[in-house]
Amino acid sequence: MSINIAIDGPAGAGKSTIARKAAAELGFIYVDTGALYRSVAYYSVSKGADVSVPENVEKLLPGITPELRFIEGVQHVFVNGEDVSDKIRTPQVSMAASKVSAIPAVRAFLFELQQKIARENNVIMDGRDIGTVVLPNADLKIFLTASPEARADRRFKELKDKPDAPSYEEVLADIIKRDHDDSTRAIAPLKQAEDAVLCDTTSLSLEESVDKIIGMIKKLL
């Protein structure tokens, strides 16, 4: 039986960095499920679809084969054989991903793929509905969060040297909007599973957060 750890939480809480480091240390596979929603968004946008109209995205689903390949423990996202790992990280794709993730047909489409990966591997899987929907029987569920300001500050520092970097205020507004959209949508909203452990990283450094999560997982093993 594989070991499954679910980490959910809002955008920018540090889920992916923390989960990636913890998985590397423990020899687990790290699965970033947001990348799957982003790959559907990227493909739809690249086909010129207005993703706020669910039918436009639904029509495209049969033509999308998203795939996660793990190369030396690092997740790469492929769509129809093309490595889109970098292309899915733009602000435009972030917003489109939030929209496509509210479409029930998209969630159903990605559900099986996520469950299959978890059945076949020891995983740390991060997302919004992993503990509540995708892996309700996960061995450990962690709900990772931090204040919107702390999350915006971290994100701003990551982006500030890039061309067209947004201002801190823009990053914060984006985070608040995505929090609102992700937690108020009708299907699989972002919410803490009843049996999840809450971990607030507002006043923790990255290293402290990673140590805390690894400690929790080691206790379980």
Using CB under 6 A as the criterion, which residues of the chain lie in contact with ligand DC when the complex forms?
A: 11, 33-34, 37-38, 97-98, 101, 127-130, 178, 182
Minimum CB–partner distance for residue 157 and ligand DC (Å): 17
Nearest-angstrom CA–CA distance, 77 and 59: 21
Choice between 4 and 101, CB closer to ligand DC: 101
Q: Looking at residue 167, what DSSP letter applies?
A: P
Choice between 130 and 150, CB closer to ligand DC: 130
Minimum CB–partner distance for residue 181 and ligand DC (Å): 7
Q: Angle formed by the axes of helices 91-100 and 34-46, to 10°?
A: 100
Minimum CB–partner distance for residue 62 and ligand DC (Å): 21
Choice between 181 and 200, CB closer to ligand DC: 181
Nearest-angstrom CA–CA distance, 19 and 23: 6
Minimum CB–partner distance for residue 128 and ligand DC (Å): 4
Minimum CB–partner distance for residue 99 and ligand DC (Å): 8
Tokens representing 119 are 């059945």
Minimum CB–partner distance for residue 74 and ligand DC (Å): 16
Q: Looking at residue 133, what DSSP letter applies?
A: I
Choice between 66 and 127, CB closer to ligand DC: 127
CB 43 within 8 A of CB 60: yes
CB 118 within 8 A of CB 125: yes
What single-letter amino acid sits at 116? K
CB 10 within 8 A of CB 179: yes
Nearest-angstrom CA–CA distance, 185 and 163: 32
Query: How far are the Cα atoms of 77, 121, 200, 206, 208 from residue 70, in angstroms, in the given order?
Result: 9, 11, 29, 24, 26
Choice between 141 and 221, CB closer to ligand DC: 141
Minimum CB–partner distance for residue 178 and ligand DC (Å): 5
Choice between 20 and 178, CB closer to ligand DC: 178
Choice between 27 and 186, CB closer to ligand DC: 186
Q: What sign for the dihedral angle of Cα 75, 83, 151, 161?
A: positive
